[in-house]
Structure 1
Amino acid sequence: MIQSVCVFGDSVAKGIAFDSVRKKYILLKDSFVSMVEKNDHIVIRNFSKFGCTVTKGGEVLKKHMSELGRYDYTVLEFGGNDCDFNWAEVSASPESNHVPNTPVSVFEEYYSRMIDEVKACGGKPVLLSLPPIDAKRYFDWISRGLNPENILRWLGDVEFIYRWHEMYNLAVNRLAILHHVPLIDISSAFLKTGNYQNLICEDGIHPNENGHRLIGRTIEKYALINA
């Protein structure tokens, strides 16, 4: 029986969502982490941070390495910020070459290192795949106050954002296979709903409260099957 878990990730794992009424980001009371903790009576330490990339996540992990052996599992959730670009720079110079916060090869290298470090400390890593994004909403979001035409010229088409994000998601899947560690498939859970956009915030990238409920149920189902 699972008694304790620690989580390292970005704003999705932290439980951040955009409140369309108050027009600001908020910390959900019922995030998927808090739901699993409450429903399954598991003690969860959430070390996730808003805006965290796998590089920054590795730094956070190092501060807690001595603790990892105490937990039944160490959940890792990264990629959403790693694949993102400096959209102001793209808007200002659409003809230039722009690189993401973490190039995918670097993303795989650092994530791979993080998985190995968790194992070396006696921890048991579990990876979460990425919830899909709504490319149109996300394009509108990143273009605020910038030049949408220039950004679109650099992208080629709006759906490039979805495809680029999915490339990092596939990298996470490859890492799970390479390192022989469990992967909880959040992506398919969203896509199976049909209109998964209803589970995504106005910004096109953060799961809303219903999205967090789906993630929570998916994790609980995985834990039940593998109990």
Structure 2
Amino acid sequence: MLNKSLNIGVFGDSIGKGILLKPESNRYSTIKLDLHKLIGASQQQLSIQNYCMMGSTITKGLSILDRHMDKVKQFQTVFLEFGGNDCDYNWQQISEQPHTEHECNTPIPLFLKQYSEMINKIRARQGNPIMLTLPPLVPDKYFDWLSRNLNKDNILTWLGGDVNAIYRWQELYNAKVTSLAAKLSVPLIDIRSAFLTHPRYQQLMCEDGIHPNEAGYTLIYRTISKQYRHAMLSV
């Protein structure tokens, strides 16, 4: 991946943070992987400043970026990973009111507007943004997770009786990320395809259906390492 020292900034949500669900405790934790060893870099070659936050939407990401704008210029690359929380819903409200309309955390027009604003701000500080696609969720597992302690039947009613509607909605946001990258000529690293080409990608995900497990994160980091050089050549 590297021929010289590289300072990277990362802004995103829990995927960028490396959050996974520990099966033995059923609690969230940060994955412990030796990234330098995994991608073939030494401590001197690679420095990563991670500003990701669990639950972060693009709105929250913008506020975090604004607080660290003075650091953007020092990064050769700024990785951006958003969309997973933006497309999510308040499932408790849906459980209580399944026959009314509900809006996701960040509607698509606002998501695209704020993501574009983030990219423009980084570029205005001579930063080089690289966007990441969304890893796929596992719809049945995620449905079971999000509906625990809620009325599953009501949520399923709101979904039109099809838990796969959750997957399709997230896929739409991933498509918007891909099209925005093309529109703004931002290099894109496609981690989603790396999962979907796996014969059983579900085995790469935690029991909550939305966070990668250790094998999933290993795949993500290796995919980034493989695609990074090509992405930088397009900058």
- TM beyond 0.5: yes
Mark the runs of 5 or more structure 2 residues left unpaired by the alignment: none
**2:167 aligned residue:** 162
1:71 to 75, 80, 95: 75
**2:226 aligned residue:** 221
Mark the runs of 5 or more structure 1 residues left unpaired by the alignment: none
**1:45 aligned residue:** 49
Go from structure 1 to structure 2 and tell me whether the alpha carbon gap of 1:154 and 1:36 turns closer, same or farther (over 3 Å shift). farther
Q: Distance in 1 between matches of 2:36 and 2:142?
A: 27
Deviation for aligned residue 1:105: 1.1
Q: Deviations over 1:107-131 (max 9, x none)?
A: 1110011000000011000000000
Q: Distance in 2 between matches of 1:28 and 1:165?
A: 24
State the SS of the aligned residue for 1:83.
coil
Counterpart residue identity of residue 96, structure 1: T
State the SS of the aligned residue for 1:194.
coil
Q: How does 1:78-157 map to 2 (within 5 A)?
A: 78-156=82-160, 157=162
Residue 87 of structure 1 contacts residue 142 of structure 1 at CA under 8 Å; is this kept in 2? yes
**1:191 aligned residue:** 196
Q: Distance in 2 between matches of 1:222 and 1:19?
A: 29
Deviation for aligned residue 1:175: 1.0
TM-score normalised to structure 2 length: 0.92
Residue 37 of structure 1 contacts residue 43 of structure 1 at CA under 8 Å; is this kept in 2? no
Q: Distance in 1 between matches of 2:40 and 2:66?
A: 30
1:20 matched to 2:26: no
Go from structure 1 to structure 2 and tell me whether the alpha carbon gap of 1:83 and 1:206 turns closer, same or farther (over 3 Å shift). same
State the SS of the aligned residue for 1:40.
coil
Q: Distance in 2 between matches of 1:36 and 1:25?
A: 24
Runs of 4+ residues over 2 Å off in structure 1 = 34-41, 223-227
Counterpart residue identity of residue 164, structure 1: W
Q: Distance in 1 between matches of 2:184 and 2:127?
A: 13
Q: Distance in 2 between matches of 1:70 and 1:155?
A: 45
Q: Distance in 1 between matches of 2:117 and 2:5?
A: 25
**2:33 aligned residue:** 30
Go from structure 1 to structure 2 and tell me whether the alpha carbon gap of 1:35 and 1:142 turns closer, same or farther (over 3 Å shift). farther
Go from structure 1 to structure 2 and tell me whether the alpha carbon gap of 1:83 and 1:122 turns closer, same or farther (over 3 Å shift). same
Deviation for aligned residue 1:40: 2.2
Q: Distance in 2 between matches of 1:67 and 1:35?
A: 22
Q: Once superposed, what is the RMSD of the aligned Cα atoms?
A: 1.5
Percent identity (aligned) = 46
Moved more, 37-46 or 3-12: 37-46
